Amino acid sequence: MNLKKVNSSMVYAIGYDLKSKTLEVVFRSGKAWAYKEVPKKVYQEFLKSESIGSYMRENIIDCYPSYPIRR
């Protein structure tokens, strides 16, 4: 999965796999998480949001099944 660096104090980079609807998020802490069943629209809104961290807390964390990953 290709990751895109983002301008955020919380998130370093994000990536999305359309086929599996999986969103990957690499945090500035170095930890990475995968979020399953994320619609493409949510990923697109996430990329365009004014605050990546706020969007993530309000629309992704605790909204989709997730698990830690190694990168």
Kindly indicate the confidence band of residue 64, based on its pLDDT and cuts at 50, 70 and 90: very high
Mean pLDDT calculated for residue range 17-29: 98
φ and ψ of 20, to 5 deg: -95, -5
The model's pLDDT over 31-49, given as tens digits with 9 standing for 90+, comes to: 999 999 999 999 999 999 9
What are 22's two structure tokens? 């999986």
Mean pLDDT calculated for residue range 53-68: 97
SS3 content of the chain, % helix, strand, coil (to 5): 25, 30, 45
The per-residue pLDDT for 26 is: 98
- Are 43 and 55 in contact, with CB atoms under 8 Å apart? no
Please give the Cα distance from 49 to 19 (Å, whole number).
Answer: 23
Per DSSP, helices labelled H in the chain are: 40-48, 52-59
